[in-house]
Amino acid sequence: PAPDGNTGITLTEGGRTRILGTYDTKAGNPVIMYFLESTLRQMSQISGGNPYYIRNRIKEALLGEAEIEPVTFTFAGQDLAAQRATIRPFATDLARDRMGAFADLSLSVTVAEAIPGWYGRIEARTPADLPGAFANELTLAGVEPEATAQ
């Protein structure tokens, strides 16, 4: 982050790079919020579901228990000891039967102290063998210093 507490986020996807914006980092790493919001918008568009309903189920799941497992994350050519936390926001949802593949959505975050910004990978996916399978993944590929004003 810059001295003012802001940081810029750039997304490189399919050989294209776009600036997502500048965010205040005082509340934490903004990448997770960007990922969750873009994922729930995609889910809403695909399923026709209410984005507020989806957001609230994700929030509730974030406040509950997560499955935690040790994993290895490779960053900058180094294998790092990391942890993956996984939640399933719709596992016990009363509307599961209307959610199609999204009923079995898992959201996973791979984190480690040695990863700049803490988040190495963020994933949202449904089982690949289900009709309407969904996958969205954001993986930290690198970190560049922010430009300083001259």
Sole residue written with tokens 């914006």:
21
Please give the pLDDT value at position 147.
54
The SS3 call for residue 45 is helix
Cβ neighbours of residue 91 closer than 8 Å, sequence gap 6 or more: 104
CA dihedral 98, 99, 100, 104 (to 10 degrees): -130
Across 28-37, 38-47, 119-128, least confident range: 28-37
Q: Is the separation of the CB atoms in 107 and 123 below 8 Å?
A: yes
* 8-state DSSP, 25: -
Rounded to whole angstroms, what are the CA distances from 119 to 33, 53, 63?
A: 12, 26, 18
Could you tell me the pLDDT band of residue 45, with boundaries at 50, 70 and 90? Answer: very high
Please give the pLDDT value at position 132.
87
Q: What is the pLDDT of residues 128-149, one digit of tens each?
A: 998 889 999 999 887 766 555 4
Across 27-36, 61-70, 107-116, least confident range: 27-36
Q: Which amino acid is at 64?
A: G
Average pLDDT of the segment spanning 65-88 = 96
Question: Is the whole model's pTM more than 0.75, yes or no?
Answer: yes
CA dihedral 59, 126, 123, 138 (to 10 degrees): -120
Query: Which of 115, 122, 110 has the alpha carbon at shortest distance from 40?
Result: 122
Determine phi and psi for 15, rounding to 5 degrees. 80, -5
Q: What is the pLDDT of residues 78-118, one digit of tens each?
A: 999 999 999 999 999 998 998 889 999 999 999 999 998 88
